[in-house]
């Protein structure tokens, strides 16, 4: 069903949670994220709609139409709007978070992929895949304020948990670029070696681990051709670990709908309490978990064609786009079981946790 199931639900604050929820999960405003409304945004890569869920009540609370070939999602620092990349019109579409109406379309230089936001800098960083470019949008006026040249077309952007740096990952160039969000100047650029050969390389999704003070410790990167992820030191850009599931856990349960696309793993997330890391597997239709920081293998959960993964701020649940089955799956972290499956749109991939300001009023009645 693609209609709104319920609207205007009262929001109860989330339980205790880490201050340093990492960016792959959510971009957030400075300060504790306890007792804030949360929404899960499920984009549909082959559709023109987005589904909105309240993870506390486990219900769909919104449905956004008129977003053709949507890709990435993020939220305004004030919680007033969502931002979505629109691959069809080459725009960033701005949607009212209470009414779900499209209020603006920001024209881009060329076709986009993902986007991410720094709440502290009040900027949105848009990955331009059709040009070697990252475009920067000001949240204050929804205008492009900077164009940052890169080594190749940019697949994804992610902002570090402290909001200080925006990171772009490239497939063809197999590079990572880090940008200071205050000045929009390049902090570093680094090349990621191909894991097997030039046809299976490139930087796919990535996420961050943090130090006790909230500064960035390392990047966990899905590398093309690698089943799992690499850990890369933030300060030195050296490869610290290459993590892959045990060989006896690689049996496949079903075939992925759109193939592996030279990326057996295309989704990775760190729990906000920094206790575990999970990554998806197109190759086996499971997600795999590891303890952090020692990367001890914890087990796997059958999903069926998993795409991106996000998590709730209390670190209790994983939400996964299930591309081949047109579903969003919810996984209980403690029991490692799927506890809920929602029907959504066509080919759901990118999924995002939006942590709203404490005074956000919720959806319009």
Q: SS3 of 189, please?
A: strand
Both structure tokens of 129: 């895949």
Residue 94 has pLDDT above 80, yes or no: yes
- Mean pLDDT to the nearest integer, 164-191: 96
What is residue 201's predicted lDDT score, i.e. its pLDDT? 74
Among the listed ranges 190-199, 243-252, 279-288, which one has the minimum average pLDDT value?
A: 190-199
Does the structure show a pLDDT above 90 at 18? no
Residue 7 pLDDT:
31
Q: What is the pLDDT of residue 13?
A: 29
Q: What is the pLDDT of residue 262?
A: 75
Higher local confidence (pLDDT), 172 or 139: 139
CB 76 within 8 A of CB 141: no
Q: Is the pLDDT of residue 102 over 90?
A: yes
> If you average pLDDT over residues 99-105, what whole number do you get?
98
Question: pTM for the full model?
Answer: 0.91
pLDDT tens-digit profile of 261-294?
778 899 999 998 899 999 999 889 999 999 999 9
- Asked if the model's pLDDT at residue 121 lies above 90, the reply is yes
Is the per-residue pLDDT at 21 higher than 60?
no
Choice among 48-57, 253-262, 281-290, 311-320 with the minimum mean pLDDT: 253-262
- Output the pLDDT for position 60: 98
**For residues 132 and 287, what is the distance between their CA atoms, to the nearest angstrom?**
32
Q: Residue 75 is encoded by which pair of tokens? A: 């939220």
Residue 24 scores a pLDDT above 60? no
As a whole number, mean pLDDT of residues 168-177 equals: 95
Q: How many CA atoms lie within 13 A of 327 on its CB side?
A: 16
Exposed / middle / buried, residue 86 (Cβ in 10 Å: 0-12, 13-18, 19+) = buried
Please say whether the beta carbons of 86 and 93 come within 8 A: yes
Q: How confident is the model at residue 19 (pLDDT cuts 50, 70, 90)?
A: very low
- Give the pLDDT mean for 110-126: 96
Q: How many other C-beta atoms are found inside a 10 Å radius of the C-beta of residue 5?
A: 15
Identify the pLDDT of residue 269: 96
b/e string for 98-119 if b means 16 or more Cβ within 10 A? bebebeebbebeebbbbbbbbb
Q: Mean pLDDT for the chain?
A: 88
Beta bridge partners of 144: 137
- Are 117 and 84 in contact by the 8 Å Cβ rule? The answer is no
Please state which of the four CATH numbers 2.130.10.10, 2.30.30.40, 1.10.10.10, 2.40.160.20 is assigned to the domain occupying 38-355: 2.130.10.10
Residues 6+ apart with CB under 8 A from 105: 86, 89, 91, 92, 93, 94
Phi-psi category of 84—alpha, beta or left, where left has phi over 0 and alpha has psi -120 to 50? beta
pLDDT above 70 for 197: no
pLDDT at 4 over 70: no
Measured in whole angstroms, the distance separating CA 96 from the mean position of its chain's CA atoms is 20
Which range has the worst mean pLDDT, 6-10, 72-76, 109-113, 200-204?
Answer: 6-10
Condensed to tens digits (0 to 9), the pLDDT of residues 129-150 reads 999 999 999 999 999 999 999 9
Judging by beta carbons within 10 Å of its beta carbon (0-12, 13-18, 19+), is residue 287 exposed, middle or buried?
buried
User: Residue 232: pLDDT band by 50, 70, 90 thresholds?
Assistant: very high
% of the chain exceeding 90 in pLDDT: 77
pLDDT tens digits for range 317-343: 999 999 989 999 999 999 999 999 999
pLDDT at 332: 98
pLDDT for the residue 195: 60
Q: Give residue 212's pLDDT.
A: 83
Nearest to 291 by CA among 272, 276, 280: 276
User: For residue 199, is pLDDT > 70?
Assistant: no
214 band by pLDDT with thresholds 50, 70 and 90 = confident
Partners of 287 in the β-ladder: 280, 301
């Amino acid at each position: 069903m693609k209609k709104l199931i319920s609207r205007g639900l009262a929001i109860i604050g989330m339980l205790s949670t880490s201050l340093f929820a990492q960016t792959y999960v959510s971009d957030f405003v400075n300060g504790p994220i306890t007792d804030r409304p949360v929404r899960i945004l499920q984009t549909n890569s082959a559709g023109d709609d987005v589904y909105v869920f309240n993870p506390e009540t486990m219900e769909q609370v919104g449905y956004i139409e008129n977003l053709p070939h949507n890709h990435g999602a993020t939220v305004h620092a004030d919680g007033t709007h969502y931002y979505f990349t629109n691959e069809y019109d080459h725009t960033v579409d701005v949607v009212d978070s209470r009414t779900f109406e499209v209020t603006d379309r920001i024209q881009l230089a060329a076709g986009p992929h993902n986007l991410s936001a720094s709440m502290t800098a009040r900027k949105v960083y848009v990955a331009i895949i059709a040009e070697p470019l990252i475009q920067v949008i000001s949240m204050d006026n929804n205008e492009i304020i900077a164009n940052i040249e890169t080594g190749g077309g940019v697949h994804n952007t992610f902002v570090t948990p402290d909001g200080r740096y925006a990171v772009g990952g490239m497939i063809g160039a197999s590079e990572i670029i880090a940008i200071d969000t205050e000045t929009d100047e390049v902090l570093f650029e680094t090349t990621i070696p191909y894991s097997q050969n030039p046809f299976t390389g490139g930087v796919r999704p990535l996420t961050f681990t943090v130090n006790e003070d909230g500064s960035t410790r390392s990047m966990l990167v899905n590398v093309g051709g690698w089943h799992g992820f690499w850990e890369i030191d933030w300060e030195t850009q050296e490869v610290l670990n290459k993590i892959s599931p045990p060989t006896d856990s690689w049996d496949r349960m079903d075939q992925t709908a759109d193939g592996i696309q030279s990326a057996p793993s295309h989704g990775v997330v760190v729990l906000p309490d920094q206790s575990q890391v999970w990554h998806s597997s197109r190759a086996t239709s499971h997600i795999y978990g590891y303890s952090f920081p020692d990367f001890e293998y914890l087990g796997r959960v059958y999903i069926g064609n998993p795409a991106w993964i996000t998590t709730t701020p209390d670190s209790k649940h994983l939400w996964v786009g299930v591309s081949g089955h047109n579903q969003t799956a919810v996984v209980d972290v403690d029991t490692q079981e799927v506890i809920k499956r929602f029907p959504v749109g066509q080919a759901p991939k990118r999924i995002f946790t939006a942590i709203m300001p404490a005074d956000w009023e919720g959806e319009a009645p």
